[in-house]
């Protein structure tokens, strides 16, 4: 099975040492790979921050199993994802077998038990990675929304279990919508990179309505029709940010700066995309480090008020 970092951890190591080693592994992985998320996660209290590092590391690991360019067949990746799903359920129960010696597992198992994160969320996340094993070709937005739920909405729900929240299922629904807003933003930002891999995550229904073909996207053909279609997608993503606005006030106060900062970062990217849609065909749109630090500072001040 593919791993992000070589594993040399001994199963005979004392449990508390293994847990600390695992937490440090998750922290380092998040710091190296999370980029936009890391700025928001730094605003959490230490215990919740560590828990989010473990959640991110888990999601990154299943993404690597599905996407690493290491020569494994689709069938092998499917087998690896199924084995990971079985180990995930064991981790949720606190019954990991001795062979589950990846550095991720002790921290992940501690987090899902401590915060009572439902195992079904991880089943859905793995289902999303299974979709990515073959071309994701959404015919319409309903199909794209289901994919976005699996790869990002579930992360939103798992996150609020760590942060603490009120409002039950209604708040979980808001967290799903926020995750979908993030993923729709990712899809727009990554149109060029995905096209280079032969992937198009935009609904074919919307491409047809704009008079665009798959070939237009794969070859990066910029046009006024392309710009209008991207602005339509950006407006849809913005609508998910809008409807999920009540989320922060339902999250424990000590955790609010994190979703506020992450949301402002992603909305900032989305605004850049909407302002100049053709730009995504030339480069990866992002915010500067200084802009992210300013957003984090504003989010902290706002939550304190």
> Tens digits of per-residue pLDDT, 49-90?
999 999 999 999 999 998 866 778 999 999 999 999 999 999
Residues 112 and 139 in one domain: no
- Asked whether residue 267 is assigned to any structural domain, the reply reads yes
Give start and end residues of each alpha helix (H) in 36-73: 36-41, 46-67
In the chain, how many domains are there? 2
- Asked whether residue 61 is assigned to any structural domain, the reply reads yes
Neighbours of 53 (CB within 10 A): 27
Residue 54 contacts residue 88 (beta carbons within 8 Å): no
pLDDT number for residue 36: 72
Q: Which regions of the chain are under pLDDT 50?
A: 1-12
Domain range for 49: 12-117
Last residue of a domain, one of 89, 117, 145: 117
Residues 90 and 183 in one domain: no
Residue 57 contacts residue 29 (beta carbons within 8 Å): yes
- Kindly report the CATH number assigned to the domain that includes residue 251: 1.10.600.10
Residues 207 and 298 in one domain: yes
Q: Is the dihedral of CA 167, 142, 56, 82 positive or negative?
A: positive
pLDDT number for residue 162: 98
pTM: 0.89
pLDDT number for residue 7: 33
Residues 252 and 188 in one domain: yes
| Nearest-angstrom CA–CA distance, 168 and 175 | 11
Residue 206 contacts residue 233 (beta carbons within 8 Å): yes
| Nearest-angstrom CA–CA distance, 241 and 183 | 11
């Amino acid at each position: 099975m593919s791993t992000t970092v070589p594993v040399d951890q001994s199963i005979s190591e004392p449990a508390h040492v293994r847990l600390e080693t695992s937490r440090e592994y998750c922290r380092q992985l998040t710091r190296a790979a999370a980029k936009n998320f890391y700025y928001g996660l730094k605003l959490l209290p230490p215990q919740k921050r560590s828990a989010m590092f473990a959640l991110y590391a888990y999601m990154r690991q299943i993404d690597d199993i599905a996407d690493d360019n290491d020569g494994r067949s689709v069938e092998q990746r499917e087998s690896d994802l199924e084995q990971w799903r079985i180990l995930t359920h064991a981790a949720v129960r606190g019954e990991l077998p001795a062979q589950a010696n990846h550095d991720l597992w002790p921290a992940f198992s501690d987090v899902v038990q401590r915060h009572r994160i439902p195992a079904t969320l991880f089943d859905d996340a793995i289902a999303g990675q299974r979709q990515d094993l073959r071309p994701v070709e959404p015919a319409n937005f309903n199909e794209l929304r289901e994919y976005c739920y699996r790869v990002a909405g579930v992360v939103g729900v798992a996150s609020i279990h760590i942060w603490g929240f009120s409002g039950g299922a209604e708040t979980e629904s808001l967290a799903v919508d926020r995750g979908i807003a993030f993923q729709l933003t990712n899809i727009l930002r990554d149109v060029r990179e995905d096209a280079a891999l032969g992937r198009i995550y935009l609904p074919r229904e919307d491409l047809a309505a704009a008079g665009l073909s798959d070939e237009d996207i794969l070859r990066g053909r910029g046009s006024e029709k392309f710009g209008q279609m991207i602005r339509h997608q950006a407006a849809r993503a913005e609508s998910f940010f809008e409807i999920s606005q009540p989320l922060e006030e339902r999250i424990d106060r000590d955790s609010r700066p994190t979703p506020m900062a992450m949301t402002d970062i992603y909305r900032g990217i989305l605004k850049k995309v909407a302002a100049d849609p053709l730009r995504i065909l030339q480069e990866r749109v992002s915010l500067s480090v200084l802009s992210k630090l300013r957003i984090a500072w504003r989010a902290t001040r706002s939550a304190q008020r």
